[in-house]
Amino acid sequence: MDQFLSIDSDGDGKLTHDDLIKAYSKTGKDPSEAEEIVRTIMKHADKSSSGFINYSEFVTASISKRKFFSEERLQLAFKLFDKENKGHIGVKELKQIFNSGVFQNIDEGIWETLIDSVVGKPKEGEEA
C-alpha cells in the first residue's frame, strides 16, 4: 500500500501516466527514457482500460510481476542502456546509468574500482 501511495502524487487513489513518469523522475531517470516503459505498464496493468491503474490493478500487477519481466521486456530495458546497440552494456554505459541522481558526484577512481571488482578490467583491445 505504501508504494502505491508514494506513486499516487495527487492522492486520488489512481496511478496515472503522469504519476508513473513523476515516480521515474524521482529516481533520477530521464522521463523521456521512461516513456515507453510507462506505456507498457499502463497497457498491461490497466485491465479496465480506464486510463489509470487503481489499487486492485496495482496489486494484481505486483503479484503477477513475472509477466512484466518477459524476455521481450528485458530486451526493451536492455536497449535503453545499450544506447550504441553494441549488444552489451559496457563500463561507459554503466557510468551513464549510475552517474545521475545521488551518484552523480562520485569520483572517477571509485567508479573504476567498483566496476573492475564486478566485471573485471577489459582485455587489451577490448572496448569498455
Cell of 123: 582485455
Range of the domain at 54: 2-69
Read off the pLDDT of each residue in 52-68 and give the average, rounded to a whole number.
80
Backbone φ, ψ for residue 88 (5° rounding): -150, 160
* Per-residue model confidence as pLDDT tens digits over 73-116: 778 878 877 878 888 877 777 777 776 666 667 777 777 787 77
The answer on 49 and 28 residing in a single domain is yes
583491445: which residue's cell? 125
Mapped onto helix, strand or coil, the DSSP state of residue 49 is: coil
The answer on 58 and 94 residing in a single domain is no
pLDDT at 81: 78
pTM: 0.47
The answer on 11 and 61 residing in a single domain is yes
* Per-residue model confidence as pLDDT tens digits over 19-59: 998 888 787 777 677 888 888 889 989 999 999 999 999 98
**Contact between 27 and 101 (Cβ < 8 Å):** yes
15 strand-pairing partners: 53
